[in-house]
Structure 1
């Protein structure tokens, strides 16, 4: 029905008898409708009919049976149903507004937008967007497999993809959610009355609230997933390995319970992390710093022997974790209220050969320095950050 309407209608002809204000309003509604068509037909349905359907057919034949379709495509089928339902209802409203005879009286534009945005569109898109980062991470973990790579390449060669890759299509629902406020504001600016404009503005606020709520959930979920992965990658050495002066007989070591890293970092927010260089015993070592909301961890990077490849200086934590690196805690966590930071000026830095360097001092409750770390940043910008 939607395709037939798009093929047969001429929007300029249908709106030619409108006054200028109504013409602009109908034009804004038409933009909302046609952009939803592009989203539904060229993005959602391509994902469903080309990628998801092909993967499902392969799995029915015992190929790629271990690939989790939900982790890749989440609630894609639900997205398609919601978008198609919105399109057909919007089409009904457009036909009525253009005085095209249609059986039965449908909802007004405002009623439709309130119902669709509040009851289905935002909720459905939120569910998809919360899985998006997981989908990309999962896609990256599969792309090295020859069988999965062949499946993706075969799908991407389909003419329906129009040279778009799977990753390009997966991001479409996120982009659509952020575009709704712009399209709805455009309709609101061309409203017939102030009441109608105010009502449309309330719809826009619903979408904006949904986006803000989603941003908060995504940040929380990203932090939760990152901390969960980090918990398994952190290594806390026992006291007799951290301090060579500590002598603990073998038969007594069991009395010193190992630290529970889950208790150390669980329910904490990771504010910032990054790789620096530590000067220690006239040698340079790669270290990774983790700044939580109440303490700082300085760790040494231990690379997986199976993946000895040196990573770039600005490599992100996600990639380090994927490479199987672990992070050995150098010292006890530095509480932020016991931390002193001293920048090394350019003159002293040049004299000591430590450019872009600074010192982190750990103080005890008596204001005595109990540990110091001289760190170098790869650039002045990173140092300031």
Structure 2
């Protein structure tokens, strides 16, 4: 047990040294260079995010929750007591380690920014190579060091669990189990925030490719300008009608064959939180033209057909009578997937609307 506790303490000490290296050898040296009017084009916040806050977090964690365990053992001449970690890993953990949420969300962009500047900017490359050659780095690259905080956060649960496996005292076991529960809960929270951020980035990249709405053909030249005023009302970044607090997300996207009374064509369909969009892709431009008016999910009916490789979509108007009907065709598994996703999305949007009414 004592060996497992020492593993937690020693690795925490080593991790704080890694944070010191990032701030002292890389960030502070870069700031000093920038004070001399060099590398001023490098955005330090984009490169290091809130690394100073993380250093403060772990130094505070050491002072308030790790060091007292060591001091207690020294003064009492008793083995290290893992129950003394409890406050740091339970009631204080979420509040104290909150800056890690921003770090984990920013980390990929920080690493991407570092790699881009490293390949584009010879002076910055020279600085990074010099910094990485310093003995404090112990041959670690900047990208390796920037990955350390997220790795450390996910390792706490493993380290405490290793102590639990070697612990027999029932009171200590209960305390350790509670610590693991709080750590895992916080890591789950961070992962949720990270996943939301990734979904938002994916959403932004998709809607940037969707061209401005222009799906209705004007009867004549005079009507074009009038119609255009209303076309601009369609904005995928605008809040969902009646559900302002929830961000719209892309739930599904794929190519389908569409058939209506006039024609049969290849289309790209997008299922969002609250609407269904039919587009035509321009692969050369990597853009999507909106082909049909957007359809609210709460007015859509879908039915499977005898041909398992197709389904019927009916769009109802305000009077609950069909205004449009299409059949969509794909392989059987894709059709099944679309039907499941549409129905699931309809239930979700219904629950969201109900919870806010």
| Same structural fold, with TM-score higher than 0.5 when normalized by the shorter chain | yes
Q: What per-residue deviation string (whole Å, max 9, x for no partner) do you get for residues 179-232 of structure 1?
A: 111211222343453122212222222111211222222233333444345444
- The alignment's TM-score, normalised by the length of structure 2, stands at 0.69
Report the RMSD for the aligned CA atoms in angstroms. 4.2
TM-score by length of structure 1 reads 0.65
Kindly indicate whether residue 228 of structure 2 is the aligned counterpart of residue 253 of structure 1: no
Sort the Cα spacing of 1:216 and 1:55 in 2 relative to 1 into closer, same or farther, 3 A.
Answer: same
Is 1:362 the counterpart of 2:313 in the alignment?
A: yes
Is 2:291 the counterpart of 1:291?
no
* Rounded Cα–Cα distance in structure 2 between residues aligned with 1:140 and 1:303: 29
Of the three residues 285, 290, 301, the one matched with 1:329 is 290
Q: Is the 8 A contact 1:278 1:376 kept in 2?
A: no
Instruction: Write out aligned runs for 1:119-158 (5 A).
Output: 121-136=96-111, 138-139=113-114, 142=117, 145-147=120-122, 148-158=124-134
Moved more, 164-173 or 91-100: 91-100
| Structure 1 position 32, deviation (Å) | 0.6
Please name the residue that 2:36 is paired with: 61
Match of 2:8 in 1: 32
Alpha-carbon displacement from aligned partner over 1:308-336 (angstroms, at most 9, x marks no partner) = xxxxxxxxxxxxxxxxx543323233555
Would the alpha carbon gap of residues 339 and 47 (structure 1) be closer, same or farther in structure 2, given more than 3 Å must change? Answer: farther
Whether contact under 8 Å (1:334, 1:362) holds in the other structure is no
- 1-structure distance, mates of 2:334, 2:19: 41
The reply to whether residue 51 of structure 1 matches residue 26 of structure 2 is yes
Aligned pair count reads 317
CA contact (8 A) 2:119 2:125 kept: yes
Q: Secondary structure at the match of 1:235?
A: coil
TM-superposition CA deviations, 1:147-178 (whole Å, max 9, x none): 44554455445555455443332222111111
For the structure 1 residues 296 and 360, does the alpha-carbon distance in structure 2 shift closer, same or farther, using more than 3 Å as the test? farther
Structure 1: gaps (5+ residues): 1-24, 102-106, 306-324, 346-357
In the TM superposition, residue 384 of structure 1 has moved relative to its aligned partner by 6.3
Contact 1:274 1:288 in 2 (8 A): yes
Distance 2:117 2:127 in 1: 11
- SS of residue paired to 2:219: coil
| More displaced stretch, 255-264 vs 207-216 | 255-264
